[in-house]
Each structure stands twice: as structure tokens, then as C-alpha cells.
Structure 1
């Protein structure tokens, strides 16, 4: 889902405390052929806006490298695209190191933390 195209929807959704994940960053397209691509610049600007609006603790990023063509060896952007290009672009828009650390370390750790289910009577 693209929360960047509708700020009011993004506020309603993120206001509930959910995580949103942005993927296919620098991707040549969906392996299924139906992804509507947007420029990474728009995604970077949108993420910077979400962070400015206080949602930086709810955003995770993903390359979604799942095809040979996405590897650098075959002309793609590779696994280092986010730290090498995407994060510096966020920094140029004023996103601070604390927010970058949250995107890359803190948020994924919280999103992927598993706890034991609470089952009454057991």
C-alpha cells in the first residue's frame, strides 16, 4: 500500500500505531509485472515527511531483492542501495541520525520481536 499518496489516510493508519514498510527500493519492477513504480525521490521525500510528522518509529525499509536482475552483477542496484544511496538522500533532506538508526535498527527489531502468546488458563 502506498501511504504517500494520501496524507490523511497515512495519518489515520499510522495514528493506530502500525508499522509501514517501503520496499522495491531501486527495483526495476515487480516480479509479477503489476507494480506501479514511483521514483525513489518521491519515496524519500514522503518518508522524510512522515518522519517530520512524528511517524519515524513506525517505518521500515526493504530492498526486496528477489530477482537476479536486481543484483549489481546483473545491472541492478544490489543489496547496498539503501545504505549507499537511499539513506544519504534522506540525510540531505534533513533526516537526522537518530531517525536513520530507527529505520535501520530500532524499528525492525521492534517489528520482528516475538513474544509468547498470552493464553488464559495455560
Structure 2
């Protein structure tokens, strides 16, 4: 039977592969097996952004990284989520946030993404 620290090391190695050696901070939950995902969440290395999407927490002792450092994963999450949902068929528009006045935070509360959809007519 493997020791708990060996199991955690195995899960961290798996996470390192999924995050392309630490260059990505956002992963889809399906990219990791349930066992690794739950173990990493239990130890604070992963936090849920929304159902199916997780943020890597490089400082597991700092709980709730998403609450305190959301700007570090915000743009990567938006890009990866939209790529997954609308592959190559989306863009972000800067116009709506500019209409609401100066942006005081690096991740504005309002964001408009435009998606091109093909329509079929009968």
C-alpha cells in the first residue's frame, strides 16, 4: 500500500502533465481522473471555478485563491471556456465595458463575447 505522501506526489505529477509543466492555471475536470482530482482538491492544489473547471492553486496553504487572486486565472479561464464551448467561433468585445465607464479592476464585471453561429433555413 502506497503512503499518503506518495499518492499525493503521484497526483501532483499527473497535474504537472495536465498543466503542461505549470504553464496553465486552468484545467477541465475531465483532464484528470476522479481519484487525482479529489485528492488534489482535498489538499488544496485545485479549486473549483465552476462545474467542470478547476484552477490550480500553487499555494495550497492559502485557501480560496479564486477569491483573493481571481485576476491571475480570469483571462485564461475565459479563453479556455469559450474555446471549449465555441471552438474558434468567438471573440471578446471591448465596447460594452468601455460604455460603463473607466475600468478600475483588471477583470471587469461585464464582458460581452460574440459568437458566430451558422443558421440553416428550410
Q: Using structure 2 for the length normalisation, give the TM-score.
A: 0.30
Q: Which is helix-richer, 1 or 2?
A: 1
Q: Using structure 1 for the length normalisation, give the TM-score.
A: 0.30
Per chain length, whose mean CA-contact separation is higher, i.e. which structure has more relative contact order (CA < 8 Å, sep 6+)?
A: 1
Q: Which is strand-richer, 1 or 2?
A: 2
